[in-house]
Amino acid sequence: MLASLGCEVRLIRKVGDLDGIAGLVLPGGESSVIDKLTRIFGIQEPIRELIRGGLPVFGTCAGLILLAERLADGIAGQQTFGGLDVTVRRNAFGSQLDSFETDLEVPALGPEPAHAVFIRAPIIESVGASVEVLASVGDEIVAARQGNLLGISFHPEVAGDARWHEYFLKIVAARN
């Protein structure tokens, strides 16, 4: 999605890959596996330092879980990078079979609804005072921003809606 918007994209596999990045996307997937791999490859703490230093970070689904300061139901020993003052519950909408699509009202993206695809999606159970709620499904918070950190429960790349990535790129541009 970012490459289609004209961005240079770099995969992060080792500490040196973090050098000089303007922003970081934490993708969907399995948050506990991503957590373990970042520790195995020694990039967990450098990512935490970049977040503390103000690096713009966009977390989608599992990436939201990794950005959360608090995890309501992580597996034994699961850690997050932190930074986003929220409590997140993994798989809150149910199993793979409970996946769904819906349109969200997101004033930050403009007047048109944003189509969202939820796959074993987390929810944001609570937010700190400095967190802006961007979207909800009923009473469940599914998108939030705190400064340079953006976290969403769903997969905009599956829906083909580039507006979330464009919104993130504005956060990156404002910092640089």
Which token pair is 39? 């520790």
In this structure, the strands spanning 132-137 and 123-127 are unpaired
Tell me the pLDDT tens digit for each residue of 129-138: 999 999 999 9
DSSP category for residue 4: G
Using CA atoms, how far apart are residues 49 and 108, in angstroms rounded to an integer?
Answer: 28
Instruction: Look up tokens 């793979």; give the residue.
Output: 96
* Beta-bridge mates of residue 71: 88
Task: Kindly report, residue by residue over 86-109, the tens digit of the pLDDT.
Answer: 999 998 887 787 889 999 999 999
Amino acid at the residue 55: L
Model confidence over 45-85: pLDDT tens digits? 999 999 999 999 999 999 999 999 999 998 999 999 999 99
- Annotated catalytic residue within 7, 30, 45, 61: 61
pLDDT in tens, 12-41: 999 999 999 999 999 999 999 999 999 999
Range list of H helices, 43-122: 44-52, 62-67
Q: What is the pLDDT of residues 147-172, one digit of tens each?
A: 999 999 999 999 888 999 999 999 99
- Which residue among the candidates 30, 115, 157, 166 is catalytic per the annotation? 157
Phi, psi of 5, rounded to the nearest 5 degrees: -95, 10
3-class SS of residue 128: coil
Structure tokens at 122: 């987390």
Dihedral Cα 37, 40, 43, 44, nearest 10 deg: 70
Backbone CA torsion sign across 21, 26, 31, 34: negative
Distance CA 64, CA 112 (A): 23
Residue 61 known to be catalytic:
yes
Asked if residue 176 has pLDDT above 80, the reply is no
174 to each of 8, 115, 155, 169, how far by Cα in Å? Answer: 17, 26, 24, 9
Nearest to 48 by CA among 87, 83, 92: 83
